[in-house]
Structure 1
Amino acid sequence: MTRNWKSVLPFLISPLLVLAIWWWVSNAGHYSEDILVTPQQVFATLGELSDNGELWLHLQASFNRLLIGFSLGAVVGVLFGIWMAISPRVEAYALPLFQGLRQVPTIALIPILILLLGVDEIFKVIIVFKAASLTVALAAYEATKGVSKSYFEVASIYQLPKTTLYRKLIIPAITPPVFTGLRIAFSRSWTILVAAELLAADSGIGQMMQLGREMFRLDVVMVGVVITGLVGFSIDKLFKWGELRLIPWQHNVRA
């Protein structure tokens, strides 16, 4: 039990310190509650939004968009990244455009996509798809490029079928870096989605924060901020847990 506490304590120190500073500053009387709400008020509002079901409706809307957009983006990104890495012709034609699109911030495309697609669900899904697919494609491309050419030469000598080449060579070799790319892409997709919902949505965590701002309910805005951070943190931890379970040999090598 003592050992467990020693491993958990470092993770608790910084959040508790921030919470203590927030409580002290907000209760010191230097700022109005219209500018800085207290942690007590935020937790009370969190309970209120949870009890009346509003929080869960917004979370459900955000998660639906996130899962659809990310799933499509992850599949397309992995396949396109591998294809671009193993095909010199595809690499020559697609890599310059890919690198250019990758440098454009996803949030900068929001006004254009709103004009083209409106503010319906497809707009939010496309935003998540773009954020996920390019990040995952880059990870798959660089991982496949990093596979030793000698492996492909041996496979050619033994005339291995392409299915065997992918299943036995390429996929195991690129799984660790691609999984890291998926983890980064998922977290990035979540933050981009919340930003898009802030600008144009009728539901979702971002829209809940926007409504709170319009009603001068800073406590609702802070609930959205806290939930956004907790979800992002949980996503990252979930992917690390999955990586530990699905790719145990990587951690054995590091150890």
Structure 2
Amino acid sequence: MSLAETLEKPAFDQSARAGTATASAARRRTRRRGASSPTPLGSVLLGLSFPFALLLVWWWAARLGLVPEQILPAPSTIYETVSSLLADGSLATHLEVSTHRVLVGFGLGALFGLVFGAAAGLSPTVRAFLYPPVQAVARVNVLAWMPLLTLFMGIDEPLKYVVIGWSAAIPIILGTARGIENVSPAFRELGRVLHFNTRDTLRLVVLPGAVPSIFAGLREGLANAWQTLVLAELFASFEGLGYLMTWGRQLFQLDLVIIAMIVVALAGLAMDLGLRWVERRAQPWKRGTRDVH
């Protein structure tokens, strides 16, 4: 063995031992994360545990007569009413009408919010000129504007689309503008060093950095859309889940109210999960990071 090999061998052995120790530490961290993080099935069961416990408490209270049925109907009554509504198709009709209103209103609000928010985030002039009025309007609930909007638009479908879109657009505007504005200056500087044109800067630097904030605004806007839908249908509608709540309240059939509330919650949850799926697809680099870890 040469002198150079003799001198290099201890350094090589030390590097190899350091690499092995690093890999072992990484595996231990991965095992700890795997032990602390629930599996997909475990996450589902954990999420269902609280509703199931609430259902048991509800059934127990109804069985023992702790709460009058006029105030809180028994789960068996809810089941019978749901079966009746499904049999005659009325529940599906109300759900279809409400879902259509939410999709149209949310779509309009998302389109306006993304465009306006992007303009405010990219242009300091637009942000200085129009952003303060938007922030001021965001402090006033859209339902406060409904009496005024009714004078100009009546109580038909356009009114519902406008108020739903309005309530959805506000968080989308704020989230989009905030996400674009908060993109790290270091990333923008890197784009200039690499001589990115405007299109490449937006596609490779600004958009990836703003995506989390944009989707946070979209999800909040979707939640606002469902809340505003119910209130708009309570205000002026003859069909939809909000109308079903009003009808049940007027007849003092609280089972109808509870059923409409449950359907609204499940429909909103389903749409939010769909939006989460789109968000994951829009951020492939995060999936890659999870796979590495």
Scaled by the length of structure 2, the TM-score of the pair is 0.79
Q: Using the alignment, how far apart are the partners of 2:223 and 2:252 within structure 1?
A: 29
Q: Using the alignment, how far apart are the partners of 1:154 and 1:242 within structure 2?
A: 28
Give, in angstroms, the shift of residue 216 of structure 1: 1.8
Gaps of 5+ in 1: none
User: Which residue of 2 is the match for residue 218 of structure 1?
Assistant: 254
1:111 to 2:115 alignment: no
1:54 to 2:90 alignment: yes
Deviates more, 1:148-157 or 1:129-138: 148-157
Gaps of 5+ in 2: 1-38
Measured at CA, do residues 88 and 7 of structure 1 come closer, stay the same or move farther in structure 2, by a change above 3 Å? closer
Q: Using the alignment, how far apart are the partners of 1:86 and 1:54 within structure 2?
A: 47
Q: Using the alignment, how far apart are the partners of 1:95 and 1:195 within structure 2?
A: 27
Give, in angstroms, the shift of residue 42 of structure 1: 0.8
Q: Using the alignment, how far apart are the partners of 2:60 and 2:190 within structure 1?
A: 66
Q: Using the alignment, how far apart are the partners of 1:4 and 1:80 within structure 2?
A: 38
Q: Give the SS at the match of 2:69.
A: coil
Superposition CA RMSD, Å: 2.2
Q: Using the alignment, how far apart are the partners of 1:150 and 1:89 within structure 2?
A: 22
Give, in angstroms, the shift of residue 4 of structure 1: 5.7
Report Cα offsets for 1:164-189 as digits up to 9, x if no partner.
33233322221222112211211221
User: Which residue of 1 is the match for residue 131 of structure 2?
Assistant: 95
1:185 to 2:221 alignment: yes
* Residue from 239, 244, 250 that aligns with 2:286: 250
Q: Give the SS at the match of 1:35.
A: coil
Measured at CA, do residues 215 and 169 of structure 1 come closer, stay the same or move farther in structure 2, by a change above 3 Å? same
Give, in angstroms, the shift of residue 236 of structure 1: 2.1
Measured at CA, do residues 4 and 159 of structure 1 come closer, stay the same or move farther in structure 2, by a change above 3 Å? closer
Measured at CA, do residues 137 and 4 of structure 1 come closer, stay the same or move farther in structure 2, by a change above 3 Å? closer
Q: Using the alignment, how far apart are the partners of 1:19 and 1:112 within structure 2?
A: 42
Please tell me whether the aligned partners of residues 58 and 204 of structure 1 are also in contact (alpha carbons under 8 angstroms).
Answer: yes
Q: Using the alignment, how far apart are the partners of 2:84 and 2:257 within structure 1?
A: 14
Deviates more, 1:236-245 or 1:66-75: 236-245
Deviates more, 1:100-109 or 1:222-231: 100-109
The structure whose Rg is larger is: 2
Q: Using the alignment, how far apart are the partners of 2:234 and 2:64 within structure 1?
A: 31
User: Which residue of 1 is the match for residue 121 of structure 2?
Assistant: 85
1:229 to 2:268 alignment: no
Percent identical pairs in the alignment equals 33
User: Which residue of 1 is the match for residue 232 of structure 2?
Assistant: 196
Please tell me whether the aligned partners of residues 187 and 235 of structure 1 are also in contact (alpha carbons under 8 angstroms).
Answer: no
User: Which residue of 2 is the match for residue 169 of structure 1?
Assistant: 205
Q: Give the SS at the match of 1:34.
A: coil
Q: Using the alignment, how far apart are the partners of 1:24 and 1:231 within structure 2?
A: 27
User: Which residue of 1 is the match for residue 178 of structure 2?
Assistant: 142
Please tell me whether the aligned partners of residues 197 and 205 of structure 1 are also in contact (alpha carbons under 8 angstroms).
Answer: yes
Higher relative contact order (CA 8 A, sep 6+): 1
* Residue from 43, 47, 52 that aligns with 1:16: 52
